[in-house]
Each structure stands twice: as C-alpha cells, then as structure tokens.
C-alpha cells in the first residue's frame, strides 16, 4: 500500500520550490521526509534518480529555517568535489527561492556569506575535516548532517574518517546534530546504518528499474568503433563507455576520434585529468547533440552530464554494486537501464552474465566491514596540528570511544608513539606531543585532511593558457596524449610539463595498479553458476589439464595453495585466478583441511593481505596487529577458513563449457 500523501503544511517554505512542478511526491520522499522532520536519524535507500536528493534537501532546508538560518545549519557531505559541484547546481535555484544562503566548502571553492559560512553548505569529508580543525565554532549551530552517496565512502578509509568526524561534531556543536544517509545501492542496510546513525529510521524503497543488457564481441579499436557505429545506427546519441583503467580511456578516446559516426565528439574522463579538463568534458558532453564519453569510475556517481541514452561496459566491473552504479547512469527517463557489455572470450561473458543476474535479483554480494586504523592515524595528526599539542588522554576524548576501544586500552598512546616514529610528532615534557615543522607545513597547505594517497606524476600544462590538463606518470620525451588530446612537450620544470597542441602524439600511459580484488561471495556465485555445489570445490576436466573451480576470491588463493601443497600428489598449478586453478593433472587428494597450515599461511602472506585490503601511507608505524586484524576482518578470512574446513571436492558432470574454463 502506498504511503499517505504529505501534508504541505509540514514543508511551508520548501514544498512549492522543490515539488510544485511535479504531480506528486516520489515514494522515498513520502516515506523519508516525515522522520527527518521529526528529528530522527534516517537512512534513505532507493534506486538511482528516485528523488533522494529532494527527500533530504527540502526538510533539511525547513530545519535550517526553523533554527533561524544560522551558519552551517544544514551540511551535506558529498564523496567528491565533482559531486559537490553538481549538488550546488541542482540545489542552488530552490535555495535562492526560499532565501536560504547556500554554498560550497571544498578545496576548490570556499563560498562565504557576510564573511561566514552559508546556512546550507555542501562539502566533502576533507572539507568537513578542515572546518572542524580550523573553524570549529562555525559548526556550533549545525542541526542536520547529510552523508550523500554513503555507499561510495563506506568500507574505505574516508568513510572511517567520517565516522570519527561524527563523534567530533557531537562534541563541537551545541547539541548533537541529526544525521541522514542517502544511497542508491546498499548491501546489509541495517549494518551500514548502525555505523553512522543512532536509533535510525530505515527508509528502504524497493523497485529497482528493469535491466536490459546486450552483448558486444571484441574490445579492439576496430571492434569498439564498430560497436559505437552500431549504437549510433540504432538512434542512440549519447553514449557513456566505462573502462577499467585510465590507459584504456585515453587509448579509446584518442584513437577513435573521427573514426566513428560520432566524429570529433569523443571525450575522455578520469581522475588523472585536471579538474578544469574534467569539467570541460562534462560540459561538452552535456551540450553535444551526439557524443561518446570514455570514463573510469569517476562518472559512476551522479555527476550531471545530461541525459545518457546508453551505457557500454568495456571491461568487467569488480562488484555488483559497481555494475549497478554504472548502468544506472543511462536511460534515466525510461523504466529500464539499457546497457551493453564488451567481451573478448566466453569466460568474460559468463562473468558478466552472473553480475547481471545478481543485479536483477538484488544480491550485491558485498564484502565484510572492517574499520581501517589509518583513519585513526590521520585524525591524530590533524588534532595535534589544530590544538598545538596533544596528550593521550586528550586524544582519547576526541576519538570515538567505541572505535578506539577495539584497539586496546592504550590505543591513544600507541597512536602518538607511531606518529612520533614517523617523525610527524615530537615529544614534550608532561606526556604531550607537538607537531613537527614538516607536519605543520603540510597542515598549513591543507594536506593533512585527506586519507587518500597523493597523485603521482607530472602536471601537463597548456603553455598558452596555463591550464593544467592532467597528470601523467609516463610519456616519451616529446609527445603525449592527455584528456584524449595530443600534446607536444616543449619544456619541463619542477614537476610541470609545458605543452602545445600537436597531432600524432600517442596516448598518455599510466602506471598499472593492482585491480580491485574479487570477493568471496561474488567468486562463489560465479563458479556455482557452472554447477559447483555451494559447499564444494568443483573439479572439471579440460584438454590435457584439470580445472579446480574453487570460487574463493582473490584473497584466498595463497591459503588454498598452501592447503593443496599438504596433500599427496600435489603439482604446482599452471594457471590461477580468483575463480579457478588450472592443474596439470587430477587434483591431489583426498581433500582435508589443515588448521596449522592455514595459520602459518596467514602469517607468511600477511604482506599480501595488507596490500589487498589497501591501507593508506599513514598506516606506517601503526601496530602491525591492528593492520592485520583489520585486513583479516575486511577480507573475510575467517569465513574463508570456515568454508575450507567444511567443504568437499566433487567432480562436475557434465563439465562446464571448456571455452569458459580456459579463461576463467
């Protein structure tokens, strides 16, 4: 049964400006606005383009007005600066109509009203961190804090940084601010809400749009050009193509310009491009009658690039969540997400098929959550710089006690000692620590507020305009392509490469990083779709070899191999992946699990676990036990152990298609 309509009198200032041009409120708005107005911490979870922004912005503005329009009464935290800019564009008009001051506080824009913060503010986790450290009094009247697109931040160091900032906000504001989360795709919403909210109201709106997917064979330049022309011939004008890497984006955008029906209207978008270059891409794509944009995950989220007729996936996403985010960018005006996927072999086709099936069933196969202690190290440095000196007792009061307690009774002291070992803090009499000159210099430049690694490489600059086009890590001596355009390097100095437009340059090359790991749940779903029982490892014959379909994911390979090495008849595999091992003969056996070998493998491969879990540089000198515990929890190694203890080895009859096994 549909929820009852909202009494317009609940939104006396905002109903008209926000909803007056619509026939009625969307379901997430009818369900979400009342608990927000009632002061409840609320989670809003519904499909892409379902009206979540209005569901929190309209009541948030009413709360700010009821409070007397003080500075920073409503603060919206966006995952990225680009999304913050997009929210500014979307909300500025309605905010002006109700005369509520509205602006941004990010590394690029610090907008003020009469010298202070506007009443409604959009920022990033780093911007919020900066405000708390440098202008805490400006947040004293904060009434409502919104964490938008929370799934992008959760299970990352930035999400854990936010959790610590929530505690500090409660200590800074005159009264503990109300909190709202908004997201389109959430796995285990109750657990997520418990991490960020208090006694929350969960507004979970079902009804994801239909998914229509089409296969395209071949990812080479000629095949990709043919795919784009096929879509153009079908009447599709605005195409968004997602690639796994920046190298792929640059290659396609550079080489396919003028080689398809889209002519010159082919653009690139990725994180190593400068802000101005990315924004130009967004504007050109939005204004073009017909265009193609090749992008990495920078466009997974809701940046406004206008209507997208079709999404094409040039590579496999690493998760169901990522798949949904990407295909959700297309066809928003219809009742279905229309997407294509490019495959180079039957194994990729099988994996895409599993991802799409799970997406249609609403099974996200999310990974376990683990708090990343690097966020504690980052907050320790910021607090030391903002306060001038810091003791363990003071640090323990500023950090969330529930989080800190998980790391032991002396956690605060160990954080200070670790920062001292890195040379970031220096001891002083009275058990206090002060920031080093080097750290103060970083803090003065605003470089302590982020949990992200610095972007490597050199800036490519247009010599005539001075515009930064992006950062590159490799390139020949004279020519390079960046943002899909050819440049000639004319001078290099101090990490900057001055360049002119030049035909014939090769695309920029970026360092290849380890791809995202495949989790246990998704890997198991992939092999179970080939007939492997849920409680088993599957053995299937190939041509002159055998395939052990384990489906344990990226993190478990060393653990499985160590177990197999203890069995009679073991021979080293000739191929391995997150889904299978290719063996030169039948699997060793009989299968049995060795707890001692498992525990030893955990220690022997600890460096790999830390790398896969992805801690930040500030993890250096943190207690190793903290890091290993977080990695073990976040990679689900205990669940893997339980599976290996109880699983059995079975032959798959009839065997799956050999063309799938060859490349899985």
Using CA of residue 300, residue 306, residue 310, residue 315, what is the dihedral sign? negative
pLDDT digits 0-9 by tens, 451-493: 876 555 666 766 555 556 666 665 555 667 676 666 667 656 6
Mean pLDDT taken over the chain: 87
Name the nearest CA neighbour of 469 among 452, 486, 454, 490. 486
Output b/e per residue, 75-100; b: 16+ Cβ within 10 A.
bbbbbbbbbbbbbbeebeebbeebeb
Strand order in the sheet with 178-183: 102-105, 120-123, 74-77, 144-147, 178-183, 42-45, 201-204
Cis amide bond preceding 654, omega within 30: yes
Helix (H, G, I), strand (E, B) or coil at 268: strand
End-to-end CA distance of the chain: 45
pLDDT digits 0-9 by tens, 328-361: 877 655 667 789 999 999 999 999 999 999 988 8
Residue 616's pLDDT is 67
Could you tell me if residue 189 is left (phi over 0), alpha (psi between -120 and 50 degrees) or otherwise beta? alpha
Strand order in the sheet with 210-217: 210-217, 336-343, 310-313, 238-242, 291-295, 266-269
More confident: 279 or 141: 141
Paired tokens of 287: 């204004």
**Contact present, 273 and 470 (Cβ < 8 Å):** yes
pLDDT digits 0-9 by tens, 275-311: 778 888 888 888 899 999 998 877 766 666 767 889 9
Residue 471's pLDDT is 66
More confident: 431 or 139: 139
Residue 159's pLDDT is 94
Name the nearest CA neighbour of 501 among 475, 463, 458. 463
Residues 502, 505, 507, 511: what is their CA dihedral angle, to the nearest 10 degrees?
-110
C-alpha pair distances (Å), 228 with each of 120, 224, 258: 42, 6, 12
pLDDT at 253 over 80: yes
Average pLDDT, stretch 205-218? 85
Helix (H, G, I), strand (E, B) or coil at 388: coil
Paired tokens of 580: 């299978």
Helix (H, G, I), strand (E, B) or coil at 544: coil
Average pLDDT, stretch 436-451? 90
pLDDT at 9 over 90: no
Residue 554's pLDDT is 87
More confident: 512 or 371: 371
The span from the CA of 328 to the CA of 331, in Å, is: 8
DSSP 166-215: HHHHHHHSSSPPEEEEEES--SSHHHHHHHH-SSPEEEE---PPEEEEEE
- According to DSSP, the β-strands at 201-204 and 144-147 are unpaired
Quote the crossing angle between the two packed helices 125-134 and 374-387, to the nearest 10°.
Answer: 30
Quote the crossing angle between the two packed helices 520-528 and 637-646, to the nearest 10°.
Answer: 40
More confident: 178 or 84: 178
**Contact present, 25 and 205 (Cβ < 8 Å):** no
Name the nearest CA neighbour of 125 among 164, 97, 86. 164
pLDDT at 512 over 70: no
C-alpha pair distances (Å), 465 with each of 5, 189, 461, 480, 498: 54, 48, 8, 18, 10
Q: Tell me what percent of the residues of the chain surpass a pLDDT of 70.
A: 88
Average pLDDT, stretch 360-384? 92
The span from the CA of 123 to the CA of 127, in Å, is: 6
pLDDT band at 589 (very low <50, low <70, confident <90, very high): confident
pLDDT at 32 over 90: yes
Average pLDDT, stretch 509-518? 66
Residues 345, 347, 350, 355: what is their CA dihedral angle, to the nearest 10 degrees?
-100
The span from the CA of 523 to the CA of 540, in Å, is: 17
pLDDT band at 644 (very low <50, low <70, confident <90, very high): very high
**Contact present, 350 and 526 (Cβ < 8 Å):** yes
Angle, vertex CA 494, rays to CA 486 and CA 80, nearest 5? 65
pLDDT digits 0-9 by tens, 400-414: 999 999 999 999 999
Residue 271's pLDDT is 76
pLDDT band at 270 (very low <50, low <70, confident <90, very high): confident
Angle, vertex CA 535, rays to CA 532 and CA 537, nearest 5? 50
pLDDT at 242 over 90: yes
Half-sphere exposure of 26 (CA within 13 A, CB side): 22
Average pLDDT, stretch 527-547? 92
Tokens 């009061």 correspond to: 397
pLDDT at 617 over 70: no
pLDDT band at 3 (very low <50, low <70, confident <90, very high): low
Average pLDDT, stretch 310-319? 92
Name the nearest CA neighbour of 298 among 332, 326, 264. 326
The span from the CA of 147 to the CA of 153, in Å, is: 9
pLDDT digits 0-9 by tens, 418-429: 999 989 999 998
pLDDT band at 19 (very low <50, low <70, confident <90, very high): confident
């Amino acid at each position: 049964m549909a929820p009852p309509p909202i009494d317009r009198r609940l939104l006396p200032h905002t109903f008209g400006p926000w909803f007056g041009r619509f026939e009625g409120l969307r379901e997430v708005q009818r369900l979400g606005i009342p608990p927000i107005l009632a002061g409840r911490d609320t989670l809003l979870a519904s499909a892409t383009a379902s009206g979540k922004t209005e569901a929190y912005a309209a009541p948030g503005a009413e709360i700010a007005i009821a409070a007397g329009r003080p500075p920073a009464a409503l603060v919206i935290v966006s995952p990225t600066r680009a999304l913050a800019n997009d929210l500014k564009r979307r909300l500025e008009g309605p905010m002006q109509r109700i005369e509520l001051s509205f602006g941004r506080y990010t590394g690029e824009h610090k907008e003020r009203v009469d010298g202070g913060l506007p009443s409604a503010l959009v920022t990033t986790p780093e911007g919020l961190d900066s405000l708390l450290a440098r202008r805490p009094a400006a947040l004293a009247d904060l009434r409502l804090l919104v964490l938008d697109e929370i799934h992008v931040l959760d299970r990352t160091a930035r999400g854990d940084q936010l959790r610590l900032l929530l505690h500090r906000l409660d200590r800074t504001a005159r009264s503990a601010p109300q909190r709202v989360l908004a997201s389109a795709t959430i796995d285990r919403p109750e657990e997520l809400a418990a991490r960020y909210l208090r006694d929350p109201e969960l507004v979970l709106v079902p009804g994801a749009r239909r998914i229509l997917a089409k296969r395209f064979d071949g990812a080479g330049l000629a095949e990709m050009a043919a795919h784009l022309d096929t879509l153009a011939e079908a009447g599709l004008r605005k195409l968004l193509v997602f690639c796994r890497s920046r190298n792929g984006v640059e290659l396609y955008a550079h080489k396919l310009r003028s080689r398809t029906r889209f002519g010159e209207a082919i653009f690139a978008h990725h994180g190593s491009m400068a802000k101005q270059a990315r924004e130009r891409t967004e504007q050109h794509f939005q204004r073009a009658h017909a265009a193609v944009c090749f992008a990495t995950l920078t466009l997974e989220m809701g940046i406004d690039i206008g209507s997208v007729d079709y999404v094409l996936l040039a590579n496999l996403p690493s998760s169901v969540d990522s798949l949904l985010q990407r295909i959700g960018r297309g066809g928003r005006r219809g009742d279905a997400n229309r997407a294509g996927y490019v495959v180079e072999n039957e194994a990729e086709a099988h994996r895409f098929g599993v991802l799409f099936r799970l997406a249609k069933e609403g099974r996200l196969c999310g990974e376990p959550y683990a708090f990343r202690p690097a966020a504690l190290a980052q907050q320790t440095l910021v607090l030391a710089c903002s306060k001038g000196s810091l003791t363990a007792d003071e640090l323990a009061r500023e950090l969330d006690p529930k989080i800190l307690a998980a790391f032991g009774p002396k956690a605060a002291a160990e954080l200070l000692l670790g920062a001292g070992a890195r040379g970031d803090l220096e001891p002083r009499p009275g058990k206090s620590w002060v920031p080093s000159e080097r750290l103060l210099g970083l803090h003065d430049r605003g470089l302590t507020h982020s949990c992200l690694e610095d972007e490597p490489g050199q800036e490519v600059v247009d010599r005539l305009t001075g515009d930064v086009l992006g950062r590159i890590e490799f390139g020949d001596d004279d020519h390079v392509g960046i943002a899909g355009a050819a440049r000639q390097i004319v001078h290099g100095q101090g990490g900057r490469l001055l360049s002119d437009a030049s035909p014939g340059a090769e695309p920029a090359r970026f360092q290849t990083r380890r791809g995202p790991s495949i989790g246990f749940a998704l890997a198991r779903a992939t092999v179970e779709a080939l007939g492997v029982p849920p409680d088993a490892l599957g053995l299937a014959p190939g041509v002159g070899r055998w395939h052990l379909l384990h489906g344990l994911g990226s993190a478990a390979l060393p653990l499985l191999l160590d177990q197999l090495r203890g069995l009679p008849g073991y021979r080293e595999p000739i191929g391995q992946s997150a889904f299978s091992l290719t063996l030169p003969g039948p699997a060793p056996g009989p299968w049995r699990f060795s707890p001692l070998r498992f525990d030893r493998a955990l220690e022997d491969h600890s460096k790999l676990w830390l790398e896969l879990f992805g801690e930040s540089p500030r993890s250096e000198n943190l207690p190793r036990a903290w890091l290993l515990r977080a990695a073990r929890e976040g990679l689900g190694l205990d669940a893997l152990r339980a599976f290996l203890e109880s699983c059995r080895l079975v032959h798959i009859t009839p065997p799956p298609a050999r063309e799938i096994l060859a490349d899985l």
